[in-house]
Amino acid sequence: MYPLFVARLALFATHLLTLVCSSDSDTLREKLRIIPNELCSMPYGSFRVNIYEHANNKLEAANPNDKKYVYAPIALLDHKSAVRCIDNVRKQAEVRFRIEMWNEKVENEVAKYVSKIVGHQVNDHQVQVIPFDKVILTSTMPSTAFYLTTHWLPYQLQKSLQFSLLCFERKVCDQLAVEMRSNPEQFGYFKLFFGLASQVSQTKDITIRIANVISGQMVQNLLQQFDEQVFLTANDEKRLLTDTTTNILIDTLEDSDMVSSISESEIYNTVKEMLSVTTVKEKNNQMWEWVFWNDDNYRPDKMSYTLNKTFKKLDAEAQRNMSELYQNFSVVGSEGEANFLELISTTASVKSEFTRHGCTSNEDLANFYRESKDYVEWDGDKFVPKLLTLSKINLTQCRDKNPLQDRGIRVRYSTAVLSAPINFVQHADVTITDEWHNLRLLVANVTRELNETRANLTSELQARTSRMETIDKIPTSCADLRRIGHIKSGLFLVMGNEMVETVYCNFTKPDDSGFQKWIGYTDVKSAPCYFYVQRNYGFDQTETPIPFDREVLNVGGAMNLTSGIFTAARTGKYFFSFTGLAFLPGHSSSRAYFNVVLYKESDLIKDYVGRGYSDENNIEDRGYETFSLQSILHLQARDNIWLQINGMSHGVYLSGGAYTHFNGWKLEEEISQSL
Ligand SMILES: *[C@@H]1O[C@H](CO)[C@@H](O)[C@H](O)[C@H]1NC(C)=O
Ligand SMILES: *[C@@H]1O[C@H](CO)[C@@H](O)[C@H](O)[C@H]1NC(C)=O
Ligand SMILES: *[C@@H]1O[C@H](CO)[C@@H](O)[C@H](O)[C@H]1NC(C)=O
Ligand SMILES: *[C@@H]1O[C@H](CO)[C@@H](O)[C@H](O)[C@H]1NC(C)=O
Ligand SMILES: *[C@@H]1O[C@H](CO)[C@@H](O)[C@H](O)[C@H]1NC(C)=O
Ligand SMILES: *[C@@H]1O[C@H](CO)[C@@H](O)[C@H](O)[C@H]1NC(C)=O
Ligand SMILES: *[C@@H]1O[C@H](CO)[C@@H](O)[C@H](O)[C@H]1NC(C)=O
Ligand SMILES: *[C@@H]1O[C@H](CO)[C@@H](O)[C@H](O)[C@H]1NC(C)=O
Ligand SMILES: CC(=O)N[C@H]1CO[C@H](CO)[C@@H](O)[C@@H]1O
């Protein structure tokens, strides 16, 4: 609620955590059962972490694995988390930021460090942060820009807590948030107080001396600037009383004492009475000379005056718009600002009026609009300052002091069990471990990497496709491959004259000369072709293709057993073999013979390829005679191949019974012809 800065700058020379006094040591001993003399102080980044032992560790029966060690919160400021917010409950601008109390890394290091000190293994679970119940952020240096609340925050051993600075003005908070993010060490005068729920508060009678009240910086400023009296806005009144209250507390309480909120507001109100601050609601033009305003340009009467003057320079429509802008309170924020800027910028003489007022940039004009909306209104035909509730202080009284009385007051306060200066991430080893933050970073990293990968791939693809041509044929060389976009050297298949060929393309060679190395033919067949057929029965017809009746294998179906004709499906080289058994009878005295011919028919031209022949003159030697015929042929697609008996003597026949075999297969295909 109201501020408090508990201070003793001189005491704050070291970044060591300090246990504050003997009575607190008692609290530690009694309530937490901690041995108050620290066991050790572990270096951690640019500061140290104090480590204490649990009293039970000293018991005779204590097992090393049950011993407990506690360490002081690290109080590490996460300066990057500082943001300016508006607390909508208190209607107050504030700077919010996080302070880290502990993390797994510290815990782990404490365990390791204690292990070394005590000479036996100490596990993570034997170590924890001191179990305080409450915490409060204080400052050892008073500030007129911000204040801190005097309410304790419950602390349930969270890894980190949010704290805030409260500002009298929003723009001050904006500035402070930036400062904290960019130069956190300036806030080195912050301290954390830790306490226990069971602690009883103490009381102390103090005297508020009028001399102390008047010696405050803001009162002194007012005494210099104004003569008999001064009027303050509610905000400035609060600033003055807060500032004074803080000074009084710094003067009367010990460094580690925390005043209760109620006592603090009692002091605040007492100071208000002592200064005989009275509230007035006045509308009187002379009064403005007595009003304290941080920046004179924003004094309501001066803003009204400028608005009035510029209003007269606008045309009727713009005038209507401008007056509406000040009546329509619903038009807030950026929309109102934008409308205002537009109205000003359309008329040059209006703009120069604002320049005279000290508003040169659009930023100034937007500020002017924001401030003027709070303090100026349209009364129907002109702009007038709003009726303000102001506080009046009689400065004459302050000067001669006599009528003013010192006042005694009883304050209630509690003493922190531990006071710790806040620490900063000044060392590479010390990092803030905010899981959410890390996760966000990780996601951002992954997204960035994906983006980069995508960008890389896109540019690579573009680089390739920009070089890529369409050649509208099957590539026949490395040069063709390069033209259609291949860039990685290796073995490739290209179309040769008849067959597919394998080539090695060395694309690292700058030009097309000599970058193709011929490797060999590639045996590619559009379909397999193998057959093996037999005759089971004898055959004695001449001048007709020999049919077959047993199909052992006929892959591709090129062999027609019924007709005895093999038809080449594709152009290429084929192998055929024919072996058989002819029966030459012994009843005739004349020569017995058997003549078989392999025919090829291409484009209806029938020609024989080769012949097989058996004969026998001697009757005694007649009987079965074998013959055979092998050939390799180049066939065009649709060429026919068959065997036929072209001549034989009477009674001769081709034997069946699986003694007659016809085989064939495609050796290689002229694949270029097949496409
Ligand atoms: C006045 O306001 C109306 C409606 O918002 C807008 O269309 C018009 O341009 C404004 N005129 C001037 C002169 O700003
Ligand atoms: C002000 O409010 C009136 C009625 O709500 C509306 O017609 C008018 O456009 C508003 N003017 C501006 C400048 O927003
Ligand atoms: C201020 O206080 C003095 C007494 O110290 C009194 O004479 C004077 O009238 C007061 N002035 C105003 C403006 O109230
Ligand atoms: C994100 O990337 C930065 C550098 O590119 C690196 O330092 C940081 O460790 C990364 N964060 C995570 C969570 O991966
Ligand atoms: C990734 O790229 C998109 C669009 O290309 C962009 O909007 C986004 O901000 C990028 N994200 C990161 C993390 O770079
Ligand atoms: C993208 O390309 C650049 C330059 O070649 C390289 O340094 C970077 O690692 C690449 N990024 C990814 C995600 O592949
Ligand atoms: C490919 O060409 C480059 C440049 O002429 C040469 O240095 C390299 O040895 C060649 N690679 C092979 C495998 O022939
Ligand atoms: C095989 O030849 C016979 C006789 O010429 C014919 O009737 C039959 O259709 C042919 N079979 C095939 C599969 O071509
Ligand atoms: C309140 C205020 O400043 N009113 C002024 C508006 O402008 C006219 C003329 O410019 C003055 O006469 C009023 O006093």
The pLDDT, as a whole number, for residue 25 is 56
Show the ligand 7 pocket: residues with CB < 6 angstroms.
Answer: 506, 508-509
SS3 511: coil
Please tell me the distance between residue 483's alpha carbon and the centre of ligand 7 in angstroms.
Answer: 19
DSSP letter for 387, please.
P
As a whole number of angstroms, the distance between CA 624 and CA 306 comes to 134
Please tell me the distance between residue 449's alpha carbon and the centre of ligand 5 in angstroms.
Answer: 10
Closest residue by Cα to atom 1, ligand 1, is 321
Please tell me the distance between residue 447's alpha carbon and the centre of ligand 4 in angstroms.
Answer: 12
Residues of the chain with pLDDT > 90, as a percent, come to 38
The pLDDT, as a whole number, for residue 640 is 96
In this structure, what token pair is assigned to residue 350?
């209006």
**Ligand (nearest to CA of 491):** 7
431-462 pLDDT, tens digit each:
666 666 777 888 898 999 999 999 999 988 88
Other residues' Cβ atoms within 10 Å of the Cβ of residue 662: 25
Which band of pLDDT confidence, cut at 50, 70 and 90, is reported for residue 127? Answer: very high
Q: Of 332-341, 499-508, 642-651, which range is least confident?
A: 332-341
Mean pLDDT of 44-55: 88
The pLDDT, as a whole number, for residue 639 is 96
Q: Of 4-8, 311-315, 616-620, which range is least confident?
A: 4-8
The pLDDT, as a whole number, for residue 90 is 75
Q: Decide whether any atom of ligand 6 lies within 6 Å of the 449 Cβ.
A: yes
Which band of pLDDT confidence, cut at 50, 70 and 90, is reported for residue 502? Answer: very high
Show the ligand 3 pocket: residues with CB < 6 angstroms.
Answer: 228-229, 394, 396-397, 400, 403
Please tell me the distance between residue 336's alpha carbon and the centre of ligand 1 in angstroms.
Answer: 12
As a whole number of angstroms, the distance between CA 110 and CA 132 comes to 18
The pLDDT, as a whole number, for residue 344 is 82
Please say if the pLDDT value at position 272 is more than 80.
yes
Please tell me the distance between residue 214's alpha carbon and the centre of ligand 5 in angstroms.
Answer: 58
Mean pLDDT of 498-517: 88
Task: Please identify, by atom number, the ligand 3 atom nearest to the C-alpha of residue 397.
Answer: 5
In this structure, what token pair is assigned to residue 634?
């180049």
**Ligand (nearest to CA of 505):** 7
As a whole number of angstroms, the distance between CA 199 and CA 192 comes to 17
The pLDDT, as a whole number, for residue 432 is 66
For 530-673, the fitting CATH number among 2.60.120.40, 3.40.190.290, 3.20.20.70, 3.40.1410.10 is 2.60.120.40
Closest residue by Cα to atom 2, ligand 9, is 305
Handedness of CA 103, 109, 115, 121 (dihedral sign): positive
Indicate the pairing of strand 127-129 with strand 69-71: parallel
Query: Residue with structure tokens 């802008």?
Result: 325
By CB atoms closer than 10 A (0-12, 13-18, 19+), residue 240 is buried
What is the value of pTM for the model shown?
Answer: 0.55
Mean pLDDT of 555-564: 96
SS3 4: coil
104-114 pLDDT, tens digit each:
889 999 999 99
SS3 helix, strand, coil % of the chain, rounded to 5? 35, 35, 30
As a whole number of angstroms, the distance between CA 487 and CA 510 comes to 11
The pLDDT, as a whole number, for residue 18 is 45
E-strand ranges in 187-328 read: 190-195, 202-208, 229-232, 257-259, 278-282
As a whole number of angstroms, the distance between CA 70 and CA 131 comes to 8
By CB atoms closer than 10 A (0-12, 13-18, 19+), residue 584 is buried
Which of 396, 400, 401, 405 has most ligand 3 atoms within 8 Å of CB, for mutation? 396
As a whole number of angstroms, the distance between CA 44 and CA 53 comes to 19
Name the strands in the sheet holding 640-648, side by side, starting at the edge strand that comes first in the sequence: 559-560, 565-567, 640-648, 592-602, 605-616
The pLDDT, as a whole number, for residue 2 is 32
Which of 405-409's residues contact partners 24+ apart within 8 Å by CB, and which partners?
Answer: 405/210, 405/274, 406/207, 406/208, 406/209, 406/210, 407/207, 407/208, 407/270, 407/273, 407/274, 408/205, 408/206, 408/207, 408/208, 409/205, 409/206, 409/207, 409/208, 409/263, 409/266, 409/267, 409/270
226-264 pLDDT, tens digit each:
988 899 988 889 889 988 888 888 888 887 888 888 999
Task: Please identify, by atom number, the ligand 9 atom nearest to the C-alpha of residue 305.
Answer: 3
360-374 pLDDT, tens digit each:
888 888 888 888 888
606-654 pLDDT, tens digit each:
888 888 888 888 877 788 989 999 999 999 999 999 999 999 998 899 9
User: Which residues on neighbouring strands pair with residue 177, listed in sequence order?
Assistant: none
Show the ligand 4 pocket: residues with CB < 6 angstroms.
Answer: 438, 441-442, 445
Q: Of 142-146, 364-368, 394-398, 406-410, which range is least confident?
A: 142-146
Please tell me the distance between residue 396's alpha carbon and the centre of ligand 3 in angstroms.
Answer: 6
User: Which range has the top average pLDDT, 139-148, 350-359, 533-542?
Assistant: 533-542
SS3 69: strand
Closest residue by Cα to atom 5, ligand 3, is 397
Task: Please identify, by atom number, the ligand 4 atom nearest to the C-alpha of residue 439.
Answer: 13
Q: Where are the domains of the chain?
A: 23-195, 202-284+394-413, 300-386, 478-521, 530-673
As a whole number of angstroms, the distance between CA 392 and CA 229 comes to 7
Please tell me the distance between residue 446's alpha carbon and the centre of ligand 4 in angstroms.
Answer: 9
